[in-house]
Structure 1
Amino acid sequence: MTLPLADSLKGRLIVSCQAPPGDPMRQTDTLVRMTRAAEAGGAAAVRVNEPEVVAAAVAAVDVPVIGLWKDGDTGVYITPTVRHALALVEAGAAVVAADATARPRPDGSTFAELVEAVHAAGALVMADVSTFDEGRAAAAQGADFVGTTLSGYVPGTPRQTAPDLALVADLAAAIPVPVIAEGRIATPQQAAQALAAGALSVVVGTAITAPTALTRAFVAGLTS
């Protein structure tokens, strides 16, 4: 299953259709409309949060749905347990995205155990990592894709304002599974640079699907 899906994603855009807690956009119908708009614009896949939204998106679009489940906002909270992962598979996710950092998981499980459970249930796994060593370890533990999603967001990793293209390039040169660039990709030019650095495909979220955050940026620019 990995190869056909990887082929369909190669050189193309994945749109992250999410909204934070309390945001006016955080309604299932609204998020599903985002996925439909992304598909209409040419996205190869969408990335969405929580089983309810995954199930609704799977019913609404023909592109693959990458599902995750954010539970909390500290530590390992992106699909933190096997239970969360299997709920996403049951909802129809073709790929389950999960934190694959070196931090302990809340249920004491390992990332390898999550991968094994997701594969047994018939889906693929995207490992969200923050460092080169984590990406290499995730690939060794069976991840089908490795994403640079958490670079700069985990304590101890350098804070950055631009995409971590160096991490993309280093992982693409070192691991046998496809690398997906994600994190702070704000322009089409940066997306193209990520592909040039060796990414299979590129995830863009805020720059496309976050009107509240984008409005704040413009307001700050006018008042600074």
Structure 2
Amino acid sequence: MKLEQIKSKLIVSCQAPSDSPLHHEKIIAAIAQACIGRGAAGLRLDTPAHIREVRHCLGSIPIIGLWKRQFSGYDVYITPRFQEAMAIAQAGADIIAIDGTIRPRPHGENLKELVKRIKGELGKLVMADVDTLNNAIVAAEAGVDLVGTTLYGYTQETQHLSPPGFSLLTDIIEKLDIPVICEGGIQTPQQGKTALELGAYAIVVGAAITGIDLKVQAFQSVID
């Protein structure tokens, strides 16, 4: 896969809560097919099973893969270790998304070593999900190929902020020379357009398109 395939394009995050009936590889694959059929240029997928099924159904479509795993005592959960990175690479991901913050990781792994192993041993591009400019800089110095604003508003340091992180997006673009993906909190097509106009290499939209569980909960919370 070449990064040019997703430049200035829409990437759809096809995910569902683990306790949802939608969290099944066949259903995720159907959602992914619908997204690609309507013009999405790529997909962001969680777990090896979902990645493998979508790869089987959609062939060479660009896939950003991750594996969300929680470990007691650690806040990092997006592809926290090389073990998870290897599994999603083997499942067919083109780009491995990892937590790009400097927070501690399970089993003592560190960001720089994780990036080095993914690129060297797996031969995959690495996307760092970050929350701040400082973490974006650290991730770039560690050798990642692109960064995303994914964690803006979702870490202890940024919990007082609300995505989409347009200010973070512009700060990273100004400071770094690698592609910057705007991800997190994009709720409308206009916000997606704004992100691209600000210089985002591509946009990732998830819940606004595929978040059926969250949308129903939002409606129900008002009704109750």
TM-score w.r.t. structure 2 length? Answer: 0.94
Q: How far off its partner does 1:222 sit?
A: 4.1
Aligned to 2:7: 10
Aligned to 2:37: 40
Structure 2 CA distance for aligned equivalents of residues 38 and 183 of structure 1: 18
Structure 2 CA distance for aligned equivalents of residues 214 and 159 of structure 1: 22
Asked whether the equivalents of residues 65 and 94 of structure 2 are also in contact (C-alpha less than 8 Å), the reply is yes
User: 3-state SS of the aligned residue for 2:172?
Assistant: helix
Aligned to 1:88: 88
Could you list the runs of 5+ residues in structure 1 that have no partner in the other structure?
A: none
Structure 2 CA distance for aligned equivalents of residues 102 and 161 of structure 1: 21
Q: How many residues align?
A: 220
Aligned to 1:166: 167
Report the AA paired with residue 215 of structure 1.
Answer: V
Structure 2 CA distance for aligned equivalents of residues 86 and 207 of structure 1: 29
Q: How far off its partner does 1:55 sit?
A: 1.0
Aligned to 2:124: 123
Structure 2 CA distance for aligned equivalents of residues 20 and 220 of structure 1: 18
Q: How far off its partner does 1:196 sit?
A: 1.5
Structure 2 CA distance for aligned equivalents of residues 160 and 41 of structure 1: 32
Asked whether the equivalents of residues 148 and 168 of structure 1 are also in contact (C-alpha less than 8 Å), the reply is yes
Q: How far off its partner does 1:35 sit?
A: 1.1
Q: How far off its partner does 1:221 sit?
A: 3.6
Q: How far off its partner does 1:111 sit?
A: 1.2
Aligned to 2:66: 68
Task: Report matched runs for 1:166-205 at 5 Å.
Answer: 166-205=167-206
Q: How far off its partner does 1:63 sit?
A: 1.3
Distance 1:134 1:162, change over 3 A: closer
Structure 1 CA distance for aligned equivalents of residues 125 and 98 of structure 2: 11
Asked whether the equivalents of residues 86 and 117 of structure 1 are also in contact (C-alpha less than 8 Å), the reply is no
Task: Report matched runs for 1:98-137 at 5 Å.
Answer: 98-120=98-120, 121-137=122-138
TM-score w.r.t. structure 1 length? Answer: 0.94
Asked whether the equivalents of residues 82 and 113 of structure 1 are also in contact (C-alpha less than 8 Å), the reply is no
Asked whether the equivalents of residues 152 and 163 of structure 2 are also in contact (C-alpha less than 8 Å), the reply is no
Q: What is the root-mean-square deviation of aligned Cα atoms in Å?
A: 1.4
Is 2:132 aligned against 1:141? no
What per-residue deviation string (whole Å, max 9, x for no partner) do you get for residues 115-166 of structure 1? 1111121211100011100001111111111001001101121433441100
Structure 2 CA distance for aligned equivalents of residues 75 and 161 of structure 1: 19
Asked whether the equivalents of residues 102 and 111 of structure 2 are also in contact (C-alpha less than 8 Å), the reply is no
User: 3-state SS of the aligned residue for 2:35?
Assistant: helix
Asked whether the equivalents of residues 50 and 67 of structure 1 are also in contact (C-alpha less than 8 Å), the reply is yes
Report the AA paired with residue 57 of structure 1.
Answer: V
Q: How far off its partner does 1:204 sit?
A: 0.4
Report the AA paired with residue 198 of structure 2.
Answer: A
What per-residue deviation string (whole Å, max 9, x for no partner) do you get for residues 92-121 of structure 1? 110000001110011211111111111121
Structure 2 CA distance for aligned equivalents of residues 10 and 138 of structure 1: 21
Could you list the runs of 5+ residues in structure 2 that have no partner in the other structure?
A: none
